[in-house]
Amino acid sequence: METSIIDLISQAFKSHQKSLLSVRREPLSTRKKYLQKLRDWIHENRSLIHLAAYNDFQKPAVEVDGTEIFHVLSEIKLAVSSLETWAQPRKVDAPITMLGTRSYLQPEARGICLIISPWNYPFSLAIGPLVSAIAAGNSVILKPSELTPHVSALIARMIQEIFPDGRVSVFEGGAEVSQHLLKLPFDHIFFTGSPSIGKQVMKAAAENLSSVTLELGGKSPTIVTRSANIKEAAQRIAVAKFVNNGQTCVAPDYILVDEHAMPLFIEELKVQVKKHFASGGESFETSTSYCRIVNQKHFSRLTELLQDALYHGARIEFGGKVDQASRLIHPVILSHVPEQSRIMNEEIFGPILPVIPYTDLDSVITIINSKPKALALYIFTQHEKERKKIVQETSSGAVCINDCAIHFLHHNLPFGGVNNSGLGNSHGYYGFLAFSHDKPVMKQKRGFTTIQPFYPPYTALSRKLMDWFLKLF
């Protein structure tokens, strides 16, 4: 990495440090002003966002609108309309031992925050957290992904046109830029990416005792029971899995289907994949609704996963052309996938979908609980008893019943993982909290207080009072 980049990062961080107090003093109206400017810029430059995403991995414009721009605009609208409520002090009742005191929780900005965003949804997963950070009153250094350079360059331009120096900065570049940024004493780090890189971020944050929010991934299982509406389940799974070419952290990673429903489910899944991604006589090669793999490295990783699965005995139920030059991988549905294959032990993050039959729900729960905790778990069932059993006996960042992935767009729900799939939450009020510290403020009254009888020196009377007092608990 060039020394000049290191110098620029150091200078930017010092600029953020110098402006920190003035940022803390900003009224809520200033935060709203920045958010409204951000909203206006997005509306005015929507076509440029479309073009950048297409240039990076042929992402369809409507898909950019639905999965990236809508999410950010929704976050902005909620933050602007709710900021006074979110930021006001929250009264806390006093216990009997603190009679006479008055207490409240005051949300305060964490300070200088680092946001490291991924490539799969390069606009929304960079700007969504930024909205929360600005709403909470922080200054931000943003590091977008180098794997989507067109979107990253557009983000840098957008930030430069909206925010002054010392408020929000953007640094493009590869892993070496992230590594240098992570050496700096940020007040909070918000990272979205893989569990393996998340561990590195957490280690780096520990050196400065920076708080972290980690939005990671993992293998999100989907269960299709015998009672499920098979056509509906196949449609919703097909869309959630193959939108963005499967490069979605909450995409269904593998499907566990009741053995009696499996033949019908696979046939219906084929129909739905064709209907939504290659309809009207289009092929997947010519489809304007089917994205591409982001780069050759990930293309090679996916083809190796597929070959390994086939080597271990997996069967292709649905597949087609694979073209390295255009980074096209035809949607693939697999059956007879052995547990020891790599595809059942690594996050797929691409358009390959293993479908595995099961005989009873206990075996399903055993399979799910044998793997690291998932970011999401999906259940297709019409039976309340089945739903309750799965929710109670498994652990995941979220559960979605009779649909997949749509909980990400519900800004009144917290979004986040657990253990291997993440740490902390984001979106809406929960994003505001992620970038805030709830500071307790307590005021004692004048004169006699309930604590004074227990001040030293410890007399016979004070001992008797303590004996009586402890019996209350």
CB 242 within 8 A of CB 278: no
Distance separating alpha carbons of residues 153 and 170, to the nearest angstrom? 9
293: which 2 tokens? 């793999």
CB 316 within 8 A of CB 310: yes
Distance separating alpha carbons of residues 214 and 217, to the nearest angstrom? 10
Which residues are known to be catalytic? 215, 249
| Beta carbons within 8 Å of 414's beta carbon, 6+ residues apart | 425, 426, 427, 430
Read off the amino acid at residue 32: K
CB 187 within 8 A of CB 211: yes
Give the pairing type, strands 422-423 and 221-224: unpaired
